[in-house]
Amino acid sequence: MIMSGEPRCYLVIRIKGSVKARKEHLDTLRMLNLTRANWATIVPKSPSYEGMLKKVEHLITWGEPNLKTVKTLLRKIEVIGDGRLGELGDEFLKKLGFNSLEELAEKIYSGELALSKLKDKGIRPYARLHPPKGGFKGTIKKHVSAGGEYGYRGDRINELFVRMAGV
């Protein structure tokens, strides 16, 4: 297991809605489990996912999360069961075969496990977030490199996530 070092996953946050979006972009977002604005997910670093991210980069922002961010995101993920939503608790994690939330976070962080693979086990592959506290710092109509908000932002994704998660 990798405790620290290079993350082998991306934290992806959808920042724009569906108005005026092309059908192929909406299909790609559905494959990424990001069907609404202000939803976040974690995807492994792979050429196929990177191609999907590039295709819809004007609707999302992404970067490499740290382990603390992955744990916080997992705490915000809901579990579907018994007809109601619940939190990802210790008893549910034991049923999945994990000893703790930290163990699950490390497996996702190191790229050994994809969040979307847990969908059939009753874990939603996304977390719902609030709009960022204090608003976006730039416009969502421009790329990060041009002073905007969408596109690849590296490890600065953690700052945006903290403002959106309310932690």
pLDDT of residue 166: 86
pLDDT at position 41 over 90? yes
Q: Is residue 55 packed enough to be buried (19+ CB in 10 Å), middle (13-18) or exposed (0-12)?
A: middle
> What are the DSSP calls for 34-76, one per residue?
--STTEEEEEE--HHHHHHHHHTTTTEEEEPPPHHHHHHHHHH
Element (DSSP H or E) covering residue 12: strand 9-14
Q: Total structural domains in the chain?
A: 1
pLDDT of residue 83: 55
Please state, in angstroms and rounded to a whole number, the distance separating the CA atoms of residues 69 and 82: 28
- Taking residues 4-11, report their average pLDDT: 84
Q: Which two tokens stand for residue 76?
A: 């915000």
For 46-101, the pLDDT digits (tens) are: 999 999 999 999 999 999 999 999 999 999 998 876 556 667 888 888 988 999 99
pLDDT of residue 2: 42
Q: Which range marks the domain in which residue 151 is found?
A: 1-167
pLDDT of residue 99: 92
Please report, for residues 24, 27, 48, 131, the alpha-carbon distance to residue 21 in angstroms, rounded to integers and kept in the order given: 8, 10, 21, 20
Q: What CATH number should be reported for the domain holding residue 146?
A: 3.30.1390.20
